[in-house]
Amino acid sequence: MSTRVLIPSGVLGLGFSDEALHNGIKARPDIIAIDGGSTDSGPWYLGTGNSKYSQAVCRAEWRKLMEARAELGVPLIIGSCGTCGVDDMVDWMAEITREIATEFGQSLKIAKIYSSQPHAFIVERLNSGNWRALEPELPIAVNDIESASNIVALAGVEQIQQALLAGADIVLAGRATDTASIAALPIANGENIAAAWHGAKITECGALCSTHPTSGVVLLDVDHTGFTVTPMAADAHCTPHTVSAHMLYENADPFHLHEPGGTLDVTNAHYEAIDQKSVRVTGSRWITDDTYTVKLEAARSAGYQTTLLALLRERRYVENARQWIERLHAFLTTLISERLAMEPVSYDLDFRLIGMSATLGAQERRDTIPTEVGVLLTVTAQSAEQSMEIARLCNPHMLHFPLTDHEELPTFAFPFSPVETARGELYEFFINHVITLDNPMQAFRLETETINATG
Amino acid sequence: MQLGKLAERVRSKNAGPFWISIDVFCGDQQRFDTIVKALSSDTVAAIYKVEAVNLLRFEIPSLNVLKFSFPRPVMQGSKEDRDMHGAQWSVLLAETELP
């Protein structure tokens, strides 16, 4: 026996080849699984509970996948709805799903898995010792948990299997591990557990494990002894190198992957080309944990930001840009204290020299004089109003500040009016822990709803 | 010679919000052997200003890859962070002269 999973792309919203999807449908998969989330774009998405990808793009792609699902009569799963996987983003995908179902006249059973965590539950886990820090260890107190604007737990295969058991045509999962939605059905069907997780890890970024990454669509066959991965675009190939190299990607440890309930060990995995397109993988191991743990992600506010950008082109200022921002920083600090009665403990001015060292900062080793320099000033303060007030105070000095006291005032290039751009709230990740659950559903909620096509 | 000129590709990326991982694709076994010998973990730790004990090193001969992972000195997306995806960090290693 074998279970066939079609993975259309690494994430909903990134795109896939229609032709490759068509080839994937012809291969008659048992399930279609796609991921919707990531922390890779930073803490703002979790902090505010927003999607990185446009709703119109997600809808257009989801429409194609719902069409494919109806044609095949198999379940369709998305994990980590709306980038961050908070409850609101599950509802966001549910709304898109209802609209498309109505348009197509599809009758459906939808299962929604909610991953958002009430503060009280996380505090209870912490107080009862059902909580463990991961490396690097971040110091966390009970008060810190209260400061989170959103906390999610990453679901594994067990929660998705519950949704499939409920007879769902479409599963909309909140935050889940990238691999869980792919591994869930093969494991439920009794295939090799290690092969299911390993195959899921290889295919979770779609065709990134092939020679044609942007084609998106890959097919995963998991059986009792291993798995086979095949890209669906006509001109894409998987080789033992492209497949095994994917274990390096975004993994601190390329041989071990921690998942809810256990650890995948691929140290002795064997990768073999079985034809021009497909790679067969055997020899991975699954080590079951004694307790069932799920990882947490949390974000909280870290102030409000406003940015200003000035361009220096005049040679003398470009050559002396570092001294200029040092002098300007000192001047502004005094002025903010005098005029706004604020001291640096309550706000932050951050100057970056674009064209010189904006990317690497103090680590930059190259020291050449560029044609021009962009001076990006980021103001961070405790409220949006304070941040904007400080930025407005800085504005005329970013425009006219001289290198020395006794010289005519220069005027630099401002590309925008107003020069201040409110960036809104800054968020930070601040939890790097797992919690132990009494049972896999303890931190998750499963709801089902039926959509009846009318007419 | 600079590492980036000898190796086929040097890339970096976040591995979650708290880690950076750097992959050195050496290209073939000969270059892999050369780079593995020439590039000590202490050198890499010093370049990225992290404690050597926190630096993970993986030598993967089947791929001719040398991989390093370490906790991010600045957390992803914090106000001190300059590179949300950690993808330009590899340049520091690529521009390192091998002894």
The span from the CA of A224 to the CA of A374, in Å, is: 58
Q: Determine, yes or no, domain membership for B99.
A: no
Cα separations in angstroms, B51 against A24, A197, B55, B72, B86: 47, 32, 7, 11, 18
Nearest to A179 by CA among A195, A201, A148: A201
Q: What is the CA radius of gyration of chain B?
A: 13
Do A33 and A133 belong together in one domain?
yes
* Same domain flag for A177 and A69: yes
User: In this structure, are A130 and A232 located in the same domain?
Assistant: yes
For residue B23, give the chain A residue with the closest CA.
Answer: A248
- Residue contacts between A and B (CB atoms, under 8 Å): 94
Inform me whether the C-beta atom of residue A258 falls under 8 Å from chain B C-beta atoms.
no
Residues A238 and A376 in one domain: no
The pLDDT of residue A141: 84
Residue A420 lies in a domain: no
Q: Mean pLDDT per segment of 10 residues, for chain A of length 455 residues?
A: 96 95 98 95 97 97 98 98 98 98 96 98 96 93 93 98 98 98 98 98 96 95 98 96 94 97 97 97 98 98 98 98 98 98 98 98 93 98 98 98 96 98 98 97 98 76
- CB atoms A39 and B69 under 8 Å: no
Identify whether B73 is part of a domain. Answer: yes
Residue B69 covered by a domain: yes
Give the alpha-carbon dihedral of A437, A440, A441, A443, to 10 degrees: 40
In a domain, A23, yes or no: yes
**Hey, what are A198's tokens?**
């390993």
DSSP characters for A236-262? ----HHHHHHGGGTT-SSSSEEEETTE
Quick one: CA dihedral A127, A133, A136, A137, positive or negative? Answer: positive
- Whether residues A347 and A380 share a domain: the answer is yes
Is B88 near chain A, with CB under 8 Å?
Answer: yes
Contacts of A356 (CB under 8 A, 6+ apart): A321, A322, A364, A370, A373
pTM, full prediction? 0.96
Q: Does residue B14 lie in a domain region?
A: yes
User: Across the interface, which of B15, B71, B83 has its CB nearest the CB of A251?
Assistant: B15
- Verify whether the Cβ–Cβ distance B92 to A251 is below 8 Å: no
Domain membership of residue B22 (yes or no) is yes
Asked whether residue A408 falls in the same domain as residue A357, the answer is: yes
Cα(A36)–Cα(A11) distance, integer angstroms = 5
Residue B77's domain comprises 3-94
Distance of CA A125 to the CA centre of its chain: 25
Residues A289 and A335 grouped into a single domain: no
pLDDT > 60? residue B89:
yes
Contact criterion met (CB below 8 Å) for B47 and B93: yes
Q: Are residues A63 and A149 in the same domain?
A: yes
Residues A292 and A325 in one domain: no
Residues counted in chain B: 99
Whether A196 and A73 share a structural domain: yes
Evaluate whether residue A386 is within a structural domain: yes
Looking at the structure, tell me whether residues A332 and A216 fall in a common domain.
Answer: no
Percent of chain A with pLDDT over 70: 100
Chain A CB within 8 Å of residue B99 CB? no
Q: What is the mean pLDDT of residues B87-92?
A: 97
Question: Does residue A422 belong to any structural domain of this protein?
Answer: no
Average pLDDT, chain A: 97
**Strand, helix or coil for residue A314:** coil
Strands (E), B1-95: 9-14, 19-25, 56-60, 65-71
Which amino acid appears at position B91 of this protein?
Answer: V
Same domain as A442, residue A322: no
Q: Per the domain annotation, does A349 fall within a domain?
A: yes
Spatial separation of the C-alpha atoms in residues A349 and A343, rounded to whole Å: 11
Backbone angle region of A134, left / alpha / beta, with phi > 0 → left and psi within -120 to 50 → alpha: beta
pLDDT at res. A301:
97
**For chain A, what is the domain count?**
2
Could you tell me the residue range of the domain that residue A54 belongs to? 3-298+431-452
pLDDT at position A140 is 86
The B residues from 10 to 49 touching A (CB cutoff 8 Å) are 13-19, 21, 23, 25, 48-49
* Domains identified in chain B, total number: 1
Using CB atoms, pick whichever of A42, A251, A352 lies closest to residue B21. A251
Looking up tokens 């470009």 gives A318
> Tell me: the pLDDT tens digits for B32-58?
999 999 999 999 999 999 999 999 999
Q: What is the pLDDT of residues A250-281, one digit of tens each?
A: 999 999 999 999 999 999 999 999 999 999 99
Cα–Cα dist B73/B95, whole Å: 20
Q: What is the pLDDT of residues A329-352, one digit of tens each?
A: 999 999 999 999 999 999 999 999
The answer to whether residue A305 is domain-embedded is no
Question: In this predicted structure, what is the pLDDT of residue A142?
Answer: 85
Please provide the DSSP assignment of A17-43 as one string: -HHHHHHHHHT--SEEEEEEE-STT-T
Q: Is residue A303 part of a domain?
A: no
Dihedral of alpha carbons A85, A88, A90, A96, sign: negative
Minimum Cα–Cα distance from A136: chain B residue: B71
* Phi, psi dihedral angles at A418 (to 5 degrees): -70, 160
Say if A389 falls within a structural domain.
yes
